[in-house]
Copies of this chain bind each other. A is one copy, B any other.
């Protein structure tokens, strides 16, 4: 007899009955608000082509680094999960076999957000009512596989069923944005916008950086190997992205380091950067200066900046060599913001017309650095808990550690930050529940009145994200 699968209506709410009652009342008013997803990694091709997804494993296992990193940590080779090898060598191609390997090990995800997201997808999206396990693996596979063949599970149908008001994808400046154009041309009403992620042409350490510069020049008609041409090309692409709905840029640098070089210094540095390989220190200095340049351009064109620093990418050399980027081996590092951001903030931090949203993988920065910075600088706002911290406990720590200094109104609502499209409502639901639980605790401890908590629940769910991202 398999165990039942049941999403309890009180899940994630504090157990204490008075607190739970308040949380329920708060949640009741925000549960049905539309999803606004201003930062994520869904594939715009889905919405452009509206083609069906192929099978359960390819949709839910193989592309989800939360899933395969945990299985890999427990000894499952990534090849056995169908993760493609960089050299094109053989990997598992039977989706049912992949699904079974996952199902047999579903207990490994106990206590993780992946478990909550997946259960939501199984119960809410597919109507499954027994728990995933070795014994129910085939039943799951069959139900999900059949559903994916129906019209109701096409990307656009799910977008509408999920009540998504807007979703932002993330593209390289070199992307022609054909899918976004196709979506617009199709007449479909779903709002799918892009975001400008210039790392491939800002970071001298990015794979293919010089080729990227040349491509940037080609598509803009500028000489991107000169400082003036490079900046003109960036401005050109920012405008092109804005025309495709972008309201934000996104910067995934290894650190939060910024610089504000003199004209002579940046001219000299850019000449070296454009000409060939530079030292690690020069690369960091260039990235740091370019953040300040991006802030200058944002002041002009109104794009909101997002800074996502502090990930040591591709930590596992063997996995990187065999499988490439984004294979669950990105590890957070200690991240300084106070000294790192000062050059940028000295120049633009007091501009009320600029919005810079800061993220962190180093939670120690919440109370020590990020809340004090955002609680002072007009240009700064705090992004929601990111990546490993996009979880119930991570959200709780964020609110408890950031709010007393930054307040709620220097935060920007939730980001799902995901390519796992099916779980997007689950992720937003976790944030809504955790925020309502946090607010309920403030109310029950008489630190906030309930009418204020109702205002805040709506602000954290909807109003702040639309204001911060200028949507």
Contacts and interface: CB of A to CB of B under 8 A. Distances in A.
Nearest to A438: B111
Contact of A8 (B373, B374, B446, B451): B446
A401 B12 CA distance: 16
A66 to B, nearest CB: 9
Contacts of A198: none
A244 interface: no
Contacts of A330: 372
A15 B441 contact: yes
A409 to B, nearest CB: 5
A170 interface: no
Given A16-B15, A73-B374, A442 B3 contact: no
A107 B455 contact: yes
Contacts of A73: 374-378, 380, 406, 410
A70 B342 contact: no
A409 B106 CA distance: 11
Contact of A111 (B7, B107, B447): B447
Interface string A387-400: 01101111000001
Contacts of A456: 110-111
A90 interface: no
A443 to B, nearest CB: 9
Interface stretch (A215-223, A276-284, A310-318): A310-318
A373 to B, nearest CB: 6
Contact of A363 (B18, B345, B367, B394): B367
A332 B447 contact: no
Contacts of A15: 14, 16, 18-19, 441, 444-445
Interface in A304-329: 312, 315-319, 328-329
A230 interface: no
Interface in A248-270: none
A10 B83 CA distance: 48
Given A110-B408, A111-B407, A373-B331, A445 B16 contact: no
Contacts of A392: 404, 445, 447
A112 B405 contact: yes
Interface in A203-223: none
Contact of A315 (B74, B345, B445, B448): B345
A255 to B, nearest CB: 13
A153 interface: no
A80 interface: no
A406 B349 CA distance: 37
Contacts of A111: 403-404, 407-408, 442, 447-448, 456
A107 B409 CA distance: 9
A455 B75 CA distance: 21
Given A15-B16, A108-B409, A371-B388, A336 B334 contact: yes
B72 A318 contact: no
B388 A107 contact: no
Contact of A338 (B18, B331, B363): B331
A339 interface: yes
A13 interface: yes
Q: Which one of A332, A389, A444 has the greatest number of beta carbons of chain B within 10 Å?
A: A332
Contacts of A72: 376, 378
A86 to B, nearest CB: 15
Contacts of A10: 445-446
26 contacts: A3-B449, A10-B446, A12-B446, A15-B18, A16-B16, A70-B375, A73-B374, A108-B407, A110-B456, A111-B442, A111-B447, A113-B404, A312-B338, A315-B345, A316-B345, A316-B377, A317-B346, A328-B375, A331-B369, A333-B369, A334-B334, A361-B368, A363-B364, A367-B394, A371-B388, A388-B404
Q: Which 9 A-B pairs have the closest CB atoms?
A: A11-B446, A8-B446, A391-B404, A75-B352, A15-B444, A111-B403, A317-B346, A15-B16, A332-B368
